[in-house]
Structure 1
Amino acid sequence: MSVLVMQLAGPLQSWGASSRFARRSTEPAPTKSGIIGLLAAAQGRQRWENLDDLAALRFGVRVDQRGTVLRDFHTAHRFTTGEALPVSERFYLADAVFVAALEGEPVLIDQLYRALLTPVFLPYLGRRSCPPSRPVDLDLHHNLTLEEALRKQKWRAACWYQRRHREASHVDLELLLEATAADGQVESLRDQPISFDPLHRRYALRGVRRDRVNVPNPAARPTHATRAARAARPDHDPTSVLGDA
């Protein structure tokens, strides 16, 4: 198995899983259906095309920067008739950063990685109004599992966010991993894509297991021992030899 790792960062993101009628909520982390849609668009697939190969991939996400929830109001029209719909509430995540990964057969994972490098349709973070602020492609692993790849990644939060936690040398991040048969009782989320056809979108339930990972903070304040070691370094003037020249 191979693993494709992506970073999802932008001013706004929105990852719906159970939205109905005039209230369109967002999950606190990217959904599998949203990421599969992003990759299918990068490959140039049409909405009515078969998704079975992409849906079979195992999905996981790490929450590097939670962001804050924003509410907006939105107007829309029916796809088939053009009839105006009621004004709806739309929810977004502002200033959030996630690391997402998909695990599957090497040939398909390689194809998806190449599609991210030269996408047919531009990627967006859940909705067309949410463009990414960083490259989505991040890493490709042929010798790690999904969980190992997510645990290995350095902390991808914004620099200002890392400095806000500079008193801590390490930070705890949440992992949301697609459950396997061995995981037993887990949470469920209706974000397993079956069809993106605009006339009949369909999603199934998917098991999700929560875990934690502890990663270094690159913006951590130096400890007393580190400062003492720096102070103990001998004075050295590399230009002193120029005096005899």
Structure 2
Amino acid sequence: MTSLLLRLGAPLQSWGTSSRFVRRNTDRAPSKSGVIGLLAAAQGRRRTDPLEDLLDLRIGVRVEQPGTIERDFQTARTHDGTTSMPLSYRFYLADAVFLVAIHGEPTLLEGFQEALLRPVFPLFLGRRSCPPAGKLVQGLREGDVDTVLGAEPWLASLWVQKKNRAAEIVLDTVTDCPADEPGSELVRDEPLSFDPRERRYGWRTVRHGRVTIPNPAHRPAPAAAASDPLDPMAAFEEMF
């Protein structure tokens, strides 16, 4: 079993699975449709190209650094300036970092890795205005999604690691799971077509979990210096 690991970090990213009309929301973790869109863009697939060979991929996300939600709004007018368009809202995740594990056939994953290192189309994290920052491809690992998400070192920004003084960190995860798994949740996030004329999404089942990993920036507190026991009579003894 092989998994491809990606680090998704940027000043801004947005992963909307329920965006409608003038309100474009973001989820708190990358969507499967967004990750598959990233892979398809790297390979040079057009929006009208089929996606059937990508739907068997199993996706897992570990929240390295949750970030904060920021709201932006946009105004627009018609070309002649006489009519104002409705005010629209855009929501983003600021300063967030995620570890994404993609499980599939080794040959297919190797192709994804090469494509991401030399993408045909520009890569972005949910929206075109959100290009990835830092090292995107972390490499191939042996193991399924759950195994690699529990074994990979913490990839949060160094300032976040230093800010948290705990020896171990508990991180949230969102992973694909069977439909009959207890506690699973249905989300409409299975991309069937990216064709602008007929965008279609199916349902997938995910589970929310947690993993505990060491904090690489943890430094044990220095031991208190040993002091001599207090002897109130010592000063008097020195007088004689």
TM-score range, shorter chain: 0.7 to 0.9
Q: Normalization by structure 2: what TM-score?
A: 0.86
Equivalence for 2:160: 161
Tell me the distance in 2 between the aligned counterparts of 1:58 and 1:21: 30
Query: What TM-score, normalized to structure 1?
Result: 0.85
1:209 corresponding residue in structure 2: 207
Which residue of 1 is the match for residue 80 of structure 2?
A: none
Q: 1:140-179 to 2 correspondence within 5 Å?
A: 140-141=140-141, 143-166=142-165, 168-179=166-177
Q: 1:148 to 1:75 in 2, by over 3 A?
A: farther
1:86: how far off?
2.8
- How far apart are residue 55 of structure 1 and its match? 1.7
Taking structure 1 as reference, are residues 87 and 39 closer, same or farther at Cα in structure 2, changes over 3 Å only? same
Match of 2:110 in 1: 110
Corresponding residue for residue 29 of structure 1: 29
Name 2:6's counterpart in structure 1.
Answer: 6
SS in structure 2 of the partner of residue 113 of structure 1: helix
Distance 1:182 1:73 in 2: 40
Deviation string for 1:31-86 (max 9, x for gaps)?
00000000000000000100011121011100000000000013579xxxxx9953
Counterpart Cα distance in 2 of 1:91 and 1:17: 12
Look up the SS of the partner of 2:108 in the other structure.
helix
1:66 pairs with 2:66: yes
Segments of 5+ residues of structure 2 without an aligned counterpart are: 78-82, 226-240
**RMSD over equivalenced CA pairs, Å:** 2.1
Comparing both structures, which one devotes a greater share of its residues to helix? 1
Deviations 1:79-106 (A, max 9, x none): xxxx995331000000000000111111
- Cα distance 1:117–1:76, how it changes in 2: closer, same or farther (>3 A)? farther
- Equivalent AA in structure 1 for residue 155 of structure 2: R
The Cα offsets for residues 172-217 of structure 1, whole Å up to 9 and x where unpaired, read as 0011110125623411111110000011111111111111111111
Write the letter of the residue equivalent to 1:86.
P
Deviations 1:121-178 (A, max 9, x none): 121111010011112111202x311111111111011111111102x01110011110
- Taking a change above 3 Å as real, the CA distance of residues 36 and 75 of structure 1, as seen in their structure-2 partners, is farther
- One-letter identity of the residue aligned with 1:147: D
Q: Report runs of 4+ in structure 1 exceeding 3 Å deviation.
A: none
Report the structure number with the largest CA radius of gyration. Answer: 2
Distance 1:196 1:84 in 2: 29
How far apart, in 2, do the equivalents of 1:164 and 1:184 lie?
A: 36
Q: 1:122 to 1:205 in 2, by over 3 A?
A: same
Q: Which runs of 5+ in 1 are unaligned?
A: 78-82, 229-245
Between the aligned residues of both structures, percent identity stands at 51
